[in-house]
Amino acid sequence: MSAMESHAVPYVEAQQAHASELPAAGVAALDRSRLEALEILGERGLPSQHDEDWKYTSIKPITRSRFSPAVSGVDCSEHFIAASAIDNLDAWQLVFADGFHLPHRSKTDGLPEGVQVTGLAEALTQDPAPIVDRLGFAMGEMPHGFSAMNSAFVGDGALVEVDPGVQLDKPIELLFVSGCSGEGFLSLPRNLVILGDGSEASIIERHISFGAERSLSNSLTEIILGKSATLNYCCAQDQAERTFHVGGLFCRLAQSAKFKATTITMGRSWVRNDARINLDAEGAHANLDGAYLAFGRCHVDNHTHISHNAPECTSRECYKGVLGDRGHAVFHGRIVVQPHAQKTDSEQSNQNLLLSADAQIDTKPQLEIYADDVKCAHGATVGQLDEAALFYLVSRGVDRETARRMLTQAFAAEILETVTPSALQNYLASRVLSQLSPAVPPEAVA
Burial class (CB in 10 A: 0-12, 13-18, 19+), 374: middle
- CB burial of 124-144 (b: ≥16 within 10 Å; e: otherwise) equals beeebeebbeebbebbeebbb
pLDDT for res 2? 63
Is residue 56 within 8 A of residue 303, CB to CB? The reply is: no
Is residue 128 within 8 A of residue 159, CB to CB? The reply is: no
In whole angstroms, give the CA distance from residue 379 to residue 292. Answer: 18
Q: For each successive 10 residues of the chain (446 residues), what is the average pLDDT?
A: 76 95 94 96 95 96 93 89 96 97 97 98 95 96 96 97 98 96 94 99 97 92 99 97 96 99 92 98 98 95 99 98 96 98 98 95 97 96 89 86 86 92 96 81 52
pLDDT for res 405? 83
In whole angstroms, give the CA distance from residue 295 to residue 284. Answer: 37
In whole angstroms, give the CA distance from residue 169 to residue 189. Answer: 26
pLDDT for res 353? 95
pLDDT for res 4? 59
In whole angstroms, give the CA distance from residue 357 to residue 360. Answer: 8
pLDDT for res 387? 86
Is residue 156 within 8 A of residue 190, CB to CB? The reply is: yes
Output the CA–CA distances (angstroms, integers) from residue 175 to 25, 78, 190, in the order listed.
26, 13, 13
Pick from 217, 218, 181: nearest CA to 73: 181
pLDDT for res 396? 87
Is residue 90 within 8 A of residue 118, CB to CB? The reply is: no
Q: How is the chain split into domains, by residue range?
A: 3-281
In whole angstroms, give the CA distance from residue 279 to residue 46. Answer: 29
- Report the chain's C-alpha Rg in angstroms: 21
pLDDT for res 444? 45
